[in-house]
Structure 1
């Protein structure tokens, strides 16, 4: 595929709404031809991304391809130089920051703090967008924190110090903090960095099973093939290909985008809804 072949994802007649109504295609968080420059260089160049509601989308590409920058644009942390990010059809710049914070949660690569906090206190930070300044926690806040701890398997660690946790456990706490926000969209920037294989699989299984729209920047193509419904491949800021992992992750694409040789085979485990590619890299 070439950049000209890339579409946000196919639209159907049901996506077209009468005047004054929000179409299905406009629902959720989407980027339309966004561009961002830094140091006189295009970091993101005309990228469109429209994740289907409830899907898990992987952002793939080599280092410096624009994955983290695109996530920050989606989160509203960075403004695009051109193009627009919308939330349910409204430009993100016109949506209040508190509304965005309630709706979109972000998990960065390496969250840290010098403050002595317990696991529960970190997770409770996710409720800040739902509370007025200096107001006490409500019953709804406490229930959201308990549910987030339970869903991430951290209930028995609630009183434990954040600083005593392993890297995988800290990432799980950050996901719990994000879930406490009660978001509909979850953005994760290289969440498996520095994790061993077991923690990588556990963390991505958790994310893929959440009833949310998730966009995840990943390096590992096999992990993307296992856990993502769709992938978008970036190269030097340009959307090079998009679609299902089976459609996109090919030997030709890996050679062109990553500059390495690979053998790609198709797997279809019993009980899985879709086939998926399995990648074995070769020495050049």
Structure 2
């Protein structure tokens, strides 16, 4: 993964990548020349205070927003040249809050993930059925498939949304603050599930400790600029927290895994 100041992006590289993308809104830069090149299969955390550009960068990566300058590529092709259907088959998005007024079962919500793979009004294929079954099983929802969406808790709904995304059979998964409004247990369960998926995942997060626990790499945004990028152990420091978030913290590091994992304790003002 690279930051604005350390770009190793080449057009031939596979996967979903952003190269020096910029986006303006209301006369100010929301994303300012950011490069993001997630390693295949990695879990990448987007960090930064509110308004730092995390959600906007995710929308640019998803093709929902077009960059004012720079380019997003998918397997070396500019995203603007790739059909929306092709993008939807490759890239799945899980938003902060998903809701519906329609009475749907868990399985029916998950089946929405197969829309990019089907022609309009065509019946479900055996491949569709298998993708839905696998997504429900992988997310631990097989025994809840017939339950109404509206009876689920917030954590369960987020899990269903991940199952819907997995039913798309994507290679890249983009998640915008997926742990918002969840209790600690559901936060840990959800991010553990995402980190174990055989996909390239980019997750916007507020919680630095969760990012340190579950992300292979992090990109820290500050006022739209890529302030720092690297492994959590390299990036999440007391100095960075003070400069980016404006708070004091004590950071300790555990070396008992494949890479150092920092733990953050915030200090009262």
TM-score tier by shorter-chain length is: over 0.9
Deviation at 1:69, TM superposition (A): 0.2
Distance 1:198 1:18, change over 3 A: closer
Normalization by structure 2: what TM-score?
Answer: 0.94
What SS does the corresponding residue of 1:25 show, helix, strand or coil? coil
Deviation at 1:26, TM superposition (A): 1.2
Matched-pair contact (CA < 8 Å) for 2:11–2:76: no
Map Cα deviations across residues 156-195 of structure 1 (whole Å, 9 max, x no partner).
1000000000000000000000000000000000000000
Residue ranges of structure 1 left out of the alignment (5+ in a row): 1-15
Aligned equivalent of 2:52, options 65, 68, 74: 65
Structure 1 match to 2:266: 281
Matched-pair contact (CA < 8 Å) for 2:4–2:20: no
**How many residues end up aligned between the 2 structures?**
264
CA distance in 1: counterparts of 2:5 and 2:264, whole angstroms: 45
Deviation at 1:18, TM superposition (A): 25
Matched-pair contact (CA < 8 Å) for 1:60–1:221: yes
What SS does the corresponding residue of 1:223 show, helix, strand or coil? helix
Matched-pair contact (CA < 8 Å) for 1:32–1:85: yes
Structure 1 match to 2:81: 94
Matched-pair contact (CA < 8 Å) for 1:221–1:279: yes
Matched-pair contact (CA < 8 Å) for 1:145–1:180: yes
Q: What are the residue-to-residue correspondences of 1:1-284 with 2, within 5 Å?
A: 26-266=13-253, 268=254, 270=256, 276-284=261-269
CA distance in 1: counterparts of 2:118 and 2:266, whole angstroms: 49
CA distance in 2: counterparts of 1:140 and 1:18, whole angstroms: 44
Normalization by structure 1: what TM-score?
Answer: 0.89
Runs of 4+ off more than 2 Å: 16-25, 268-271
Matched-pair contact (CA < 8 Å) for 2:175–2:204: yes
Map Cα deviations across residues 95-126 of structure 1 (whole Å, 9 max, x no partner).
00000000000000000000000000000000
